[in-house]
Structures are given as C-alpha cells and as structure tokens.
C-alpha cells in the first residue's frame, strides 16, 4: 500500500482529501499534517518525519495564501512558500518520494488575451505570486519526480473562501459591490483533490507542470451572482471595476488556464464551474 503525506491538511484542499480518501484506502495510506504536526519551514522536522514514514507521495498543500497580508509580511510568505518547499524537495529526493505541489494562477500577470498554458511566460505582480513562483523554480531546478499543479479561484465548503464570504455578507446586507473586470475560473477544491488522486492511481510518470481549474469563464461578479441565485438569496449585486476596490496586492486581471495537457494525460472530463458550485452549495 502506497503511503501519501498531505501537508497543510487543515486548509480547503487538505480537508477535501479527508472527505474522499475512503474511496482510495484499499490502495493508499494517508497521513495528514498541519503546522502543529509538521512545520515545513523546519528542515530537521521535515526530514525526521519523512525518515519515520518513508512516503511514496507528498501532496504539498501547505502555503502562505493570505494574498494581501503577504505584501507587508514578505519574510513569512517567503519562508513558507520557498524555504518550506526547499525542505520538502530535499526530503523527497532523499527518500524517493514523488512530490505533488499545489501552485497558483498568480504566477501570471494577467496581461494575456488567451488562456495560459503550462509554458506561458510567468510574471507575478504580487508577493504571494512571486513566492509561489520561486517555490516552483526550486522544485524544477532540484528535483525530477514532481507534478506542479496550478489552479485558480479555489473554494469549498471548508475554510475561508469567496463563496462562504458572499453567503455571510448576504445574511447582513441587501446590496453588494463585486469586481467585474477580473476574469478567471472558479475551482471546486474537491474536484482538484479527485484529479490529484487519479493522477496517483494511474501511476503516470509524465512529470512536470499542469494546469487545473473547472471549465468555463467568470468574473468575480458572475461568481457572486451564481452563488446568490443558487442559494436563492435576495441581494442586489452591483458590478464595479478593480480601480474602485483597491487592495494591497495586485490581482491578475485575466487568469484563465488552458487545461489541454492534464485532460489528455488523464483522459479527464472536467466539470463546468456552475455545476460544481451547485454541488458545493448543497453541502454548505
């Protein structure tokens, strides 16, 4: 039975793995860690943990993801998203562990007019994006047995995310302003978790970078409207431009991902974002 380490297990994606791992427990043995169990920024701690369990796969969901806070907390963002990744890569190499690392659409600047493929030019415009890209570069330069999966606009019934924020605001407001000039694709974290486990179980060795999001295109305005329509929330939503809602960190205005590579390699049919949103909202 293959042993799988899931770091950052209290986050959205880690929580989704816990939801579906029963379907794979006859093939995979899961070990879940949060910062309290395993501090990825501590190289000795990481190596000791790998030494104890001899993992076949490491799914690294641990990350500094507070995009705006990172602008004034660069040291910690770098420590987790770069130094932490270095420690994991070192132990993966030492113990022949395949690494599956979660990355982001924030490695792009959003100036493209076409969906980004895996070879697209990266140019992050935020500290979060820059540290995530540096983490990718560490993996690529120091290891061979890796999958880097870039995803976008992740949400789920777990943790803090856009969907849950919108629902909370709908309970206290009658009107809301939401940005309509940032375009991307909402991604249900459970769908991403299922794809990652399919990747493990198909025993693919086509290592490298892969894009994954749900199908379709939306603005944050579209996303919010869909949440309220599906949950039958009576709230007026006004579309506004990004310049009317300045944030400490810049966001890529266009972050649609080309998923041809992962669809072909795994023979995937990726769900449409509104269909997955409906499933998620039924659970909230």
Active-site residue numbers?
Answer: 128
Over the Cα atoms of the chain, what is R_g?
A: 19
CA atoms within 13 A on the CB side of 248: 11
Q: Do the beta carbons of residue 263 and residue 201 sit within 8 Å? A: no
- Residue 54, CA distances (Å) to 91, 141, 150, 152, 266 in order: 10, 23, 26, 31, 27
Residue 92's contacts (CB-CB under 8 Å, 6 or more residues apart) are 50, 58, 98, 99, 143, 145, 146
Nearest to 51 by CA among 14, 8, 97, 100: 97
Q: Do the beta carbons of residue 109 and residue 123 sit within 8 Å? A: yes
């Amino acid at each position: 039975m293959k042993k799988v380490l899931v770091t950052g297990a209290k986050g959205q994606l880690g929580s989704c793995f816990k939801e579906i791992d029963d379907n794979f427990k006859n093939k995979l043995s899961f070990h879940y860690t949060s910062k309290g169990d395993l501090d990825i920024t501590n190289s000795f701690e990481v190596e000791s943990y790998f030494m104890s369990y001899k993992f076949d796969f490491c799914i690294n969901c641990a990350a500094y993801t507070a995009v705006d806070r990172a602008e004034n907390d660069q040291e910690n963002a770098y420590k987790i998203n770069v130094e932490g990744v270095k420690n994991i890569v070192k132990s993966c190499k030492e113990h022949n562990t395949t690494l599956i690392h979660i990355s982001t659409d924030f490695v792009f600047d959003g100036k493209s007019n076409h969906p980004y493929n895996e070879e697209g030019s990266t140019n992050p415009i935020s500290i979060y994006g820059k540290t995530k890209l540096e983490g990718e570069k560490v993996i690529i330069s120091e290891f061979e047995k890796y999958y880097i999966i870039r995803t976008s606009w992740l949400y789920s019934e777990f943790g803090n995310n856009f969907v849950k924020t919108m629902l909370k605001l709908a309970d206290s407001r009658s009107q809301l302003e939401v940005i309509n000039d940032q375009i991307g694709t909402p991604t249900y974290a459970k769908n991403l978790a299922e794809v990652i486990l399919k990747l493990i179980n198909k025993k693919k060795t086509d290592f490298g970078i892969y894009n994954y999001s749900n199908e379709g295109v939306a603005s944050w305005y579209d996303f919010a409207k869909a949440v309220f329509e599906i949950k039958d929330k009576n709230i007026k939503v006004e579309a506004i431009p990004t310049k009317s809602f300045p944030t400490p960190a810049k966001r890529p205005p266009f972050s649609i991902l080309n998923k041809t590579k992962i669809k072909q390699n795994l023979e995937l049919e990726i769900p449409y974002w509104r269909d997955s949103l409906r499933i998620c909202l039924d659970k909230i």
